[in-house]
Amino acid sequence: MRIIYFGTPEFAIVPLQRLLAAPDVEVVGVVTQPDKRRGRGSQLIPSPVKDVALAHGLPVWQPQRIKQDRDLHALLRSLAVDVFVVVAYGQILSPDVLAIPSQGCINIHGSLLPKYRGAAPIQWALYNGETETGVTTMLMDAGMDTGPILLRSAVAIALDDTAQTLALKLSHLGAELLLKTLRQLPQLTPQPQDEQQATYARLLQKDDFALDWGRSALELHNQVRAFTPRAFTYWQGMPLKVIQTWPLTPAVQAALPSELQAYVSPPSAAAANGTVITLIKGWGPVVQTAAGGLLLRQVQLSGGKPQSGWDFVNGVRLVTGASLG
């Protein structure tokens, strides 16, 4: 099967590597986003997928706007491929492009469609406290993740999963599902999505990262792990990134490290939300929320490096009764 691969971020690396290792698949070339300037020197940095493609000697195309690149459209037609595989490419493909491969365009999406269509399915699944997610392969159409479903595969979400760890799980799961989909493609019957079950995972915005201590410990934990390392509060008027947490609440007590289970207590309103109520030696401060205490396991002061919650306690001489936010 002749394939052109569309992808950009790290999430798209593992599926590409599996295709390159498959004896019954030929990756003809790769389409990825243009290089971006990053860092202090504003150097042009290639996408992770481009690095893999070049390491395997593949042709790489990087259109600024693929919808308008008629020369690339003509080139892709001339290659006479069977399938376009699209994994977190980052641009919407026009009907003209979708019609090029003889057997269609197959997308790997990081959710169990029709739930969490859109740009950030992994983050919003974590934010909403889902206990299960997965990957879906679908035939692409002109809509946003609205094409008919080919195959789906589910995975459990652990309490300590973050957007990064869950993305890695789904990337490997997606690679397996992609090969299965390609090999069974002639026998598969695409299933239309149930529009009544559809939800949308919008792009992230800066306002999503601010912690509100008036929410529950579990809700704040889900926010931190969904948006790490960008979730933040304030310490003495300066931003404090909150990178890793544990919610010390009865509902998730069994999933906590054994050393922390003794610190779980029923909800209390004895302290104001955002107040440090306990210091757990070797772990960090526990902050009062609307429901339960939230242990700050790893944080980062403005201008500093990530540090453990306990190092933060010692570094700023944090005491119970101090306020965050």
Give the per-residue pLDDT at 38: 80
The dihedral sign for the CA sequence 109, 110, 113, 117:
negative
Distance CA 173, CA 59 (A): 26
Q: Which residues are annotated as a binding site for (6S)-5,6,7,8-tetrahydrofolate?
A: 111-114
End-to-end CA, the chain: 55
Mean pLDDT of the chain: 95
**Helices then strands (H, E): number in the chain?**
8, 17
At 8-46, the pLDDT tens digits run 999 999 999 999 999 999 999 999 999 998 877 778 899
At 92-108, the pLDDT tens digits run 999 999 999 999 999 99
At 186-203, the pLDDT tens digits run 999 999 999 999 999 999
84 bridge partner residues: 4, 105
| Distant-in-sequence, close-in-space partners of 313: CB < 8 Å, separation ≥ 6 | 279, 284, 285
132 bridge partner residues: 156
Please give the model's pTM, rounded to 2 decimal places.
Answer: 0.93
Which element (helix H / strand E) includes 234?
strand 232-235
Residue with tokens 């933040």: 232
Domains of the chain and any CATH numbers: 2-201 (3.40.50.170), 207-316 (3.10.25.10)
213 bridge partner residues: none
Q: Which residues are annotated as a binding site?
A: 111-114
Nearest to 84 by CA among 66, 99, 104, 65: 104
